[in-house]
A and B are shown apart, each in its own frame.
Chain A
Amino acid sequence: MSKASFLRSRWFEDIPVGEFHVFGSYTLSEQEMVDFGTSYAPQIYHTDPDAAMNTRYKGLIASNWHLCSIWMRLMVDYMEGYSLGVVDGRRNGAGLGFQDLKILKPVRPGHTLTFSHEIIDKAERILKNKWGVIKSRNEAFNHKGELVMTFTVDILAERNPDNLTK
């Protein structure tokens, strides 16, 4: 069994609290911040480097939603790496929602963020006699090692059928 098969074939019961993944690092450019801001967060501190100098942020900063979108992209790419060549994709279900999104430091052009994902809780409840719920803490750290973003996500994970009511 390969590493990818081992990780992807686990049931809810096999996944430990504490499991830790690093989705990767990403460097934001000024142009990318402006493009995202112009399309989805049209506030001058996300769209206009000069005008942003006169705001309380004293320069361009990335939108919260931009950071979340980068997290999403890195997460999918990372998880796809584990699913390559694996037919059995039973482990993951849908996301049930985000909680407690916090942006703790401004992210500026040229900053490199590293995104981590840690499983922090496994609820006892069983949904539709099939799914368990796994809570993860997701964080982004800048190039100085400072925490800049944090939120939690609940996702479904399939329970071992041998442990469910027949």
Chain B
Amino acid sequence: MPIIDCKLISGYTENTRKLLAERITDAACSSTGAAPEFVTITITEISPNNYMRGRTQKQPAKAPLQSNDIIQNYLNAMEARDLKLANSFIDDKFHITCPGNKIFYSLEDFLNWGKVRYKKIAKDISSIDLSFNGLDAFVYCHGTLKGEWLNGQSFAGIRFIDKFHTKNSKIISQEIWNDLDLMKEA
């Protein structure tokens, strides 16, 4: 029955406080084995006037865009072929690793490569899952692919999983696994 009290400087949004409580609950469950219904989280807010660090009163920092939202926005931009928007989510060292260990350093190259494989493609996302290691977040997006081959035949239900690494609100890498080539040969 873990009971965890968090002290936060006041000013964070309700959504940020709810997210914090959910993630602390998950951390408590995975580390102690307690079921979520037995984990209690309380948040005590402290006025900035009553908070001082290094002889300086502080204000709450702006909560970052969450990694799952970054990935969802990035995937939406890629599906709409809005490269300007998609590029705004990625780091300068961003790369995509595809099946067969093909490593792309530009989204333009990745989309151009798709042009010799299919006419169009879209994702039906089953879930987007998150894990963390400090400021590094790992986002797993999986589901199925649908679209149209170059010969005009449609396809659907092809499994995929993408692993994203994000840091400081930017996507560092994307690793892709799917059955696209297997289904094309079938």
Contacts and interface: CB of A to CB of B under 8 A. Distances in A.
A141 B105 contact: no
A85 interface: no
B105 A22 contact: no
A22 B109 contact: yes
B21 to A, nearest CB: 38
A116 B111 CA distance: 12
B105 A7 contact: yes
Interface string A1-27: 111011100000000111111101100
B116 interface: yes
A144 interface: yes
Say whether chain B's binding surface is mostly helix, strand, loop, or mixed: mixed
A145 interface: yes
A25 B115 CA distance: 10
A118 interface: yes
Contacts, number: 51
A86 B103 CA distance: 23
Given A18-B101, A19-B105, A145 B117 contact: yes
B116 A145 contact: yes
Contacts of A118: 102
B93 A6 contact: yes
Interface residues of A, number: 22
Interface residues of B, number: 22
Contacts of B109: 20-22
Contact of B116 (A17, A18, A19, A141): A141
A63 interface: no
B112 A18 contact: no
B117 A24 contact: no
Interface string B109-137: 11011011100000000000000000000
B117 A20 contact: no
24 contacts: A1-B92, A2-B92, A6-B92, A17-B101, A18-B97, A18-B103, A19-B103, A19-B105, A20-B98, A20-B102, A20-B103, A20-B104, A20-B109, A21-B105, A21-B109, A22-B110, A22-B112, A24-B112, A114-B115, A114-B116, A141-B116, A143-B150, A144-B150, A145-B150
Interface of B: 92-94, 97-98, 100-106, 108-110, 112-113, 115-117, 150-151
Interface of A: 1-3, 5-7, 16-22, 24-25, 114, 116, 118, 141, 143-145
